[in-house]
Structure 1
Amino acid sequence: MATPSPDGEFDWTAAEAQVGDVVDLGTARRRRQPDDWTADVDDERDELGDEPILVDPPDSDSRVSWAEAAAGRRPIVPAWLRSKSEALALARWIVGHYTHVSAYHLLRAPLYAGRLVVRAPRGAVRAVAGTARWASDAEGRPVRLAAVRREDADEYLKLSRQRDARVRLRALILTFGFSVGAIGGALLVLSTTQEIRYAVLAVLIGLLGVAGSPADKPLMDVAAVKPRVRKLTADVLTRAFLAAGLCKPDDLISFPAPIMRDGPGWRAVIDLPFSVKADTAIKKRNDLAAGLDLDEVQVWPERVRGAAGSARRLALWVADEDPYAKPSGLWPLILKGVVDVFEPFPFGEDQRGRIVALQLMFTSLLIGAIPRMGKTFAARLPALACALDPIVELHIYDGKGGQDWRAFERIAHRVGFGVRDEVVLGLVEDLRALVVDMNRRYDTIATLPADICPESKVTRGIAERRSLKLWPVLVSIDEFQRYSGHPLYGDEIVSLLTELCKVGPSVGFMISLATQKPDGKAVPTDLRDNIGTRFALKTMTWQSSEAVLGAGSYTAGHDSSRLQRAHKGVGILLGADDSGAVEEAVTVRTSRTPLADIDAVITRAHALRQARGTLTGRAAGDALALPGPAASLLDDVLTVVPASEPKIWSETLAARLGELRPETYAGWKPEQVAAALKPFGIPVGRQVWGSDPVTGEKANRKGVHREDIAAAVAERNQRRRAA
């Protein structure tokens, strides 16, 4: 605080230079939450210091007016006390806690009584031994022996006389006590009822039993395990920062605001020495946790930005207990609510229980983790959010092929499960068609007037106009490494997705990729660098963590390999606020979406799309048609192989297909022809005698027989008629 000047007047200029006009304690961005969210966000505690707090009264020339200062006053009654839900929750906890503790100990009362009886003899021995030591002044014996060893006769005689006086006095007190006790005992036996005698005996046994209890074996069991809570004080924090090497004894940290409770923990705003950056302290999170004698999962440092922050100002939140030890909550939109994909939707909670929102529109998402850490659950959340917006077209592919994504068949335009050849080929053709559609969309955007499309990108109003065909499209691929590693189509899949990630977001394309092998082979660098949002759950190494979050994340203090295996669904989210800076990554615990509840969400999504008339593709009943032009592949082969040519080389067939449909088959090689025909059961390795169309040289090469193609077409047509 500013001090008076030498002439007695208060120096406001010095005050402003010393601490500034206001100190803003808010550090976390308040993410905008749509009105139709069903999560009870009204009862969330506000960030500590979300509003400016007046430090020194401003004068007439100050940047802060008196009206602004009055508006910045904190409420007299705290928010939690004014919240009906929190007050009821506190009352329920008090009643439930003490009811549980009382019932717990009451049930074990016979056990406690037995322990007292067993320990009473030991307590009696301790009482007699302690009384004897007191009466004989045993505590002074070491001092007297020390005088003997020094051969200090005067000191020894002085101590001996003092000891004799003490012993005589204590012997008198002890004799008087025994006499009173004996008389009291006789009166108790002769003149009281049996119930009183038993009560006194029980009290005596209880006292002796307590005295005889070992220090490592308490009499009563623990009814409720209390978490280890570290109360933050200035001394505790200073010691921690000294231990972490973030300040020196002659250059300590300072506190621009009081240390206060903030939700289930403590929050302190700290100014580091002028030579230390806040980013350095964030990287030393483990050292700070060691200095506080806590687990690192309870210690959360972050920057204080904005006008009230600086490069050396740090906000430190310390949780009372492991914030991720309890299960995460259900997704707020499971039971009711809709989503606008042009706005953020709930994705999970941070360590303080605040909702973290994610906006997928105009970006792409990469999720990486080792198996069994919640990767599929995290990947399903954006897909479910898009499902609750009836204008979004869904393209869902699951490399595992289990039950995790089967419910989406009811609403998805295209789906694929597993990595069978026909599924992979369907994905390739689907991505090819989407790239073609992306180019068409840009042509359409270019024709729109500036008042309708002011930023040359899709808006909600534009997407609602079905005639423009510019609705949002989500391509969600789980276990992406199984598709990107395909020996024939892997490179093309990666190339097509890279194209969509590069220029597709502005015209409505959203890409979500999840992989349990986040390396440069499964997700090549060119593709990964064009994905703006990353979510890394538990990984094995910091290199894998950087493969998901991007270069520089490890040095910035974000390492998903340090996440605990017990914390399923917990990961580091980068780019949720559209900043893309590794320093802005946040740790998030994703909301739970059990399979039973997913069906309920999909049912609502199906009803929404049915009402809007936006069910297309697979969801509209196109279940028998293979994705893309694969349904006409057999017909195209029969077209380029006339009946007069019973056999044909595979390379010749590939060339003819490329001439027939260059937009589909251009660049095909014999291997791709073989992979495309294999799902139909057509032999592709037969030896065919023929001549080279260029050189005329005759040879035996691999090819196909036209009769096999004709048989496959007949079988396909028969299945369609039966259906």
Structure 2
Amino acid sequence: MSIERTPATPDPNWDRLVADLTAAPAEKPVGPVLQKTADVPVNRPDLLGDMPLTPEWVRTPAGWRTRAEVGKVNSVRAFRRWVRRQSTEHGHGAQVFRGMHRTFLWIQGTEGVQVATARREVQQAQGDYKTAKGHHGRRLIPGKEKYKRRAEMDKAFAGSVTAMSRYKAAQRDARTRRAARGALAAAAVAVPEGAGIYLIGGTGGVIATGSALLAFALIGRRTAGGELYHDHDVKFGDTLKLTDSMLNKIYRDAKVIGADEVVELLTPCTLTADGKAWEVTLDLPSGTPLKKALTAKTGVASALGVKVQQLHQAPGDREGRLQLRVSLHLPFTGKPDPGPLLDLNCINLWRAIPMGVNLRGQEVSTSWVERSGLFGGEPGAGKSAAANDLLLAAALDPTVALYLCDGKAGADLTPFEPIAAMHDTDGEPERLLEILEHIWTVEIPRRRALAKEHGSRKLTAAMAAKDPRVNLAVLLVDEWSSYGAAADRRVREEMERLLRLIVQQGRALGIITLCATQKPDADSVPSGIRDILSIRWAMRCLTPQASDTILGQGYAAAGHNAQDILKSQRGVGIYMDGEGAEPELTRGYYYDDDEVDLILGRAFELRAKAGTLPAGSVPLADQLRAVDDDDARVLAVLLDTFDAHLDGEGEPAEWLPGSVLVDALADAGTALSADSLGRLVVRTDDEKAKRPWLGSRVVGYPRSRVLITVRDRFGMGE
């Protein structure tokens, strides 16, 4: 395909197109972007160059290195195929032998048939002459008959002489023709050999000999049955290279297209910039439904010679258009990349958050505002790690309230307890019901009133930027089936009713609901709730039916089957980002226990500074120290002093003398007189009364009065 430099007819866009091809890359490419790398921010097709539709990254150092590495692998495999080929009738030794044999037969030619025919005629004529002579030699024959037989003998003799002449002529002609052909064949070998030795020496002789052998191999390339060796028919799994001719054979062998049909390539078969896969976009023959190719995934993988996990087919921008990606190796089997949350100090959950990476290595980000999710898969598939992508991001937003419930009573949610508004990690149905009732009777009415106050039907990021009371909340229910199995019928029905109402009405009011389960059927997640959860992530499943339960009916038949995910691909699932989104294979970010503790420690500090920690999560004294105020620091020392003096039951002292408190302030580096302390912590007349202390009566301060001061001054405590 070539493009003229001057259009045949006036084109208003021609000048702009030519200018764009010579100008520096813009932020947004004008042509189809085939690849993108860090070295080349934008890759545009080389429309006027000698490499049409070839990504520019190919001509970068990274591109050349990537293609060289794949080329090295292909070269090694090609050599191994050549070695295996030599033991077959397509081996080059066998071809040279066939070529030499066929050359000898050509030199022999067909003149031998003519000589044999002439020799046969001589033999026949000599036989006729002997017979006629024998008949003539009989004595008792009448004279008239004798003359007749003599004439026949003479005629047979003349025929014998003529046949002998033709035989000798055929021999001379055969020798001449064979000599000419033999001389021609010998000259074809001897002349280049002699010229090579004369001009170059021994090297020239070797080259000429190789050329002669090559010629014989070409002559004998066809077998006795007329078959040719086609290297381009080899499978992708044997070459790690996808070719145009291979595609038609693949889809024919997979019974997607007919034997006389071809696919139309819209882009060339291109190695991706990271060197991990080959990609191509193609159109199926007219009238061939796209579903036929998607459902033939196993057959296509077999025709390619790869595992089904290495094949990815995605619908194009119209019906009948297919985007094919063939990975060189099994994707998502190496060590996962570090999660991006490790480098973030805080997050705004009103914006899209990173959930993982897709096959192309691109980050998959999802906006959870007005969304809800369902994560499912067999045990060990990575559901908890996937749920952590949302929970850890929500934890780094100090305004987000977390409601966490774990029906399997595991330890996955234990690290989140200090920052969770309400939680249940023991799998108690009554506690889950209490949390759901709180959200339905407290959270949702409060949020609905806020939306009404702002004159809207829902809470938005714009409202949150103006009003600190507007925030998001995350409700996680892990293993609903465990809760249902442990609850009686009345509690189970009430939990299901409340959860359905929260999912339906809470999404517009900033409540994000996430359900995770090992077996997402009607027992684990009620169908009335499952059908309204918009974001789906199907981890490895045991059956196509289980995969369809998570993603929706028919997705497994369309090529999106979580049963195809291998056990070695932990944390990998088919991710569907909301309504109408095309599912894609995605690997969630993984954070180990130390990384989770690091992120949650940062989240704890953020919430302590913002004052959004739940009551009882942080000692009141520590909360006061986080406030940049001298009086807060004084009150923190007072609370520590009460905590240091325990009563007989091990509880903090309810009353301490003023002198003890002043001394404790002095030891902490805060010089405060008794009068200044009295002005800070204002007591009633009854509280100023003297009490016994170490054998005498002294004036002191009750702990309750200090707590009241903290509440009145800084709004902390109960």
TM-score by length of 2: 0.56
Matching residue's letter, 2:476: S
Going from structure 1 to structure 2, the CA distance change for 1:2 and 1:230 (only over 3 Å counts) comes to: closer
For structure 1, the 5+ residue unaligned runs are 17-21, 29-40, 58-71, 99-136, 145-151, 166-225, 623-723
Partner of 1:474: 474
Range 585-594 or range 248-257, more displaced: 248-257
How far apart are the structure 2 equivalents of 1:529 and 1:377? Answer: 23
1:424 to 411, 425, 429: 429
SS in 1 for 2:604: helix
Question: Deviation digits for residues 202-259 of structure 1, max 9, x if unmatched?
Answer: xxxxxxxxxxxxxxxxxxxxxxxx9965211110111112122332343311122222
Contact 1:463 1:471 in 2 (8 A): yes
Going from structure 1 to structure 2, the CA distance change for 1:610 and 1:296 (only over 3 Å counts) comes to: same
Deviation at 1:326, TM superposition (A): 1.3
1:334 to 336, 342, 357: 342
Contact 1:324 1:589 in 2 (8 A): yes
The structure with the larger Rg is 2
SS in 1 for 2:512: strand
Deviation at 1:289, TM superposition (A): 1.4
How far apart are the structure 1 equivalents of 2:567 and 2:401? Answer: 35
2:500 to 498, 501, 504: 498
1:273 aligns with 2:261: no
How far apart are the structure 1 equivalents of 2:271 and 2:472? Answer: 44
Matching residue's letter, 2:451: I
1:239 aligns with 2:249: yes
Deviation at 1:323, TM superposition (A): 1.3
Contact 1:409 1:618 in 2 (8 A): no
Partner of 1:218: none
2:549 to 547, 572, 582: 547
Contact 2:407 2:480 in 1 (8 A): yes
Alignment of 1:600-611 (within 5 A): 600-611=598-609
Partner of 2:513: 511
Deviation at 1:79, TM superposition (A): 8.4
2:398 to 390, 393, 399: 390
SS in 2 for 1:475: strand
How far apart are the structure 1 equivalents of 2:426 and 2:338? Answer: 28
1:376 aligns with 2:384: yes
Contact 1:339 1:388 in 2 (8 A): yes
Question: Deviation digits for residues 603-652 of structure 1, max 9, x if unmatched?
Answer: 11111111211112453569xxxxxxxxxxxxxxxxxxxxxxxxxxxxxx
Going from structure 1 to structure 2, the CA distance change for 1:230 and 1:352 (only over 3 Å counts) comes to: same
1:318 to 309, 314, 326: 326
1:447 to 436, 441, 453: 453
Question: Deviation digits for residues 67-120 of structure 1, max 9, x if unmatched?
Answer: xxxxx998856586479xx98x999x99xx99xxxxxxxxxxxxxxxxxxxxxx
Matching residue's letter, 2:257: C
Matching residue's letter, 2:611: G
2:591 to 587, 590, 593: 593
Alignment of 1:614-693 (within 5 A): 614-617=612-615, 619-620=617-618
1:357 aligns with 2:365: yes
Aligned-residue RMSD, C-alpha:
4.6
Contact 1:520 1:547 in 2 (8 A): no
Contact 1:277 1:312 in 2 (8 A): yes
Which stretches of structure 1, 4 residues or more, deviate above 4 A after TM superposition? 1-4, 8-13, 22-28, 44-47, 53-57, 72-80, 152-155, 226-229, 464-467
How far apart are the structure 2 equivalents of 1:434 and 1:281? Answer: 47
How far apart are the structure 1 equivalents of 2:388 and 2:539? Answer: 14
How far apart are the structure 2 equivalents of 1:573 and 1:369? Answer: 12
How far apart are the structure 2 equivalents of 1:374 and 1:238? Answer: 38
Contact 2:377 2:540 in 1 (8 A): yes
How far apart are the structure 1 equivalents of 2:401 and 2:39? Answer: 34
2:268 to 234, 240, 258: 258
SS in 1 for 2:264: coil
Deviation at 1:524, TM superposition (A): 1.1
Contact 2:46 2:56 in 1 (8 A): no
Contact 2:537 2:550 in 1 (8 A): yes
Partner of 2:240: 230
Going from structure 1 to structure 2, the CA distance change for 1:387 and 1:441 (only over 3 Å counts) comes to: same
Matching residue's letter, 1:471: N
Going from structure 1 to structure 2, the CA distance change for 1:330 and 1:299 (only over 3 Å counts) comes to: same
Question: Deviation digits for residues 26-74 of structure 1, max 9, x if unmatched?
Answer: 699xxxxxxxxxxxx9839879x7x6x58699xxxxxxxxxxxxxx998
How far apart are the structure 1 equivalents of 2:39 and 2:354? Answer: 15
Contact 1:27 1:304 in 2 (8 A): no
Identity fraction in percent? 25
Deviation at 1:403, TM superposition (A): 2.7
Contact 1:532 1:580 in 2 (8 A): no
1:296 aligns with 2:299: no
Contact 2:538 2:574 in 1 (8 A): yes
Contact 2:237 2:304 in 1 (8 A): no
Deviation at 1:383, TM superposition (A): 0.4
Range 469-478 or range 234-243, more displaced: 469-478
1:366 to 363, 367, 374: 374
Partner of 1:284: 296
Contact 1:45 1:79 in 2 (8 A): no
Q: How many residues align?
A: 456
Matching residue's letter, 1:317: R
Deviation at 1:571, TM superposition (A): 0.6
Matching residue's letter, 2:511: F
Contact 2:46 2:54 in 1 (8 A): no
SS in 2 for 1:289: helix
Deviation at 1:400, TM superposition (A): 2.8
SS in 2 for 1:514: strand
1:570 aligns with 2:572: yes
Contact 1:369 1:516 in 2 (8 A): yes
Question: Deviation digits for residues 356-386 of structure 1, max 9, x if unmatched?
Answer: 1122221111111111111111112110111
Matching residue's letter, 1:428: L
Matching residue's letter, 1:563: I
Going from structure 1 to structure 2, the CA distance change for 1:464 and 1:330 (only over 3 Å counts) comes to: same
How far apart are the structure 1 equivalents of 2:7 and 2:415? Answer: 75
Going from structure 1 to structure 2, the CA distance change for 1:2 and 1:418 (only over 3 Å counts) comes to: same
Going from structure 1 to structure 2, the CA distance change for 1:326 and 1:371 (only over 3 Å counts) comes to: same
Matching residue's letter, 2:591: T
Contact 2:458 2:508 in 1 (8 A): yes
Deviation at 1:332, TM superposition (A): 1.5
Contact 1:268 1:315 in 2 (8 A): yes
1:485 aligns with 2:495: no
How far apart are the structure 2 equivalents of 1:559 and 1:277? Answer: 19
How far apart are the structure 1 equivalents of 2:374 and 2:46? Answer: 43
Going from structure 1 to structure 2, the CA distance change for 1:621 and 1:409 (only over 3 Å counts) comes to: farther
Question: Deviation digits for residues 282-318 of structure 1, max 9, x if unmatched?
Answer: 232222212212112122122222xxxx322222111
Going from structure 1 to structure 2, the CA distance change for 1:621 and 1:405 (only over 3 Å counts) comes to: farther
1:521 aligns with 2:523: yes
Contact 2:237 2:306 in 1 (8 A): no
How far apart are the structure 1 equivalents of 2:569 and 2:116? Answer: 71
Contact 1:23 1:54 in 2 (8 A): no
2:38 to 43, 58, 72: 43
For structure 2, the 5+ residue unaligned runs are 15-28, 74-97, 106-112, 118-173, 183-235, 621-718
Contact 2:253 2:303 in 1 (8 A): yes
How far apart are the structure 2 equivalents of 1:610 and 1:227? Answer: 56
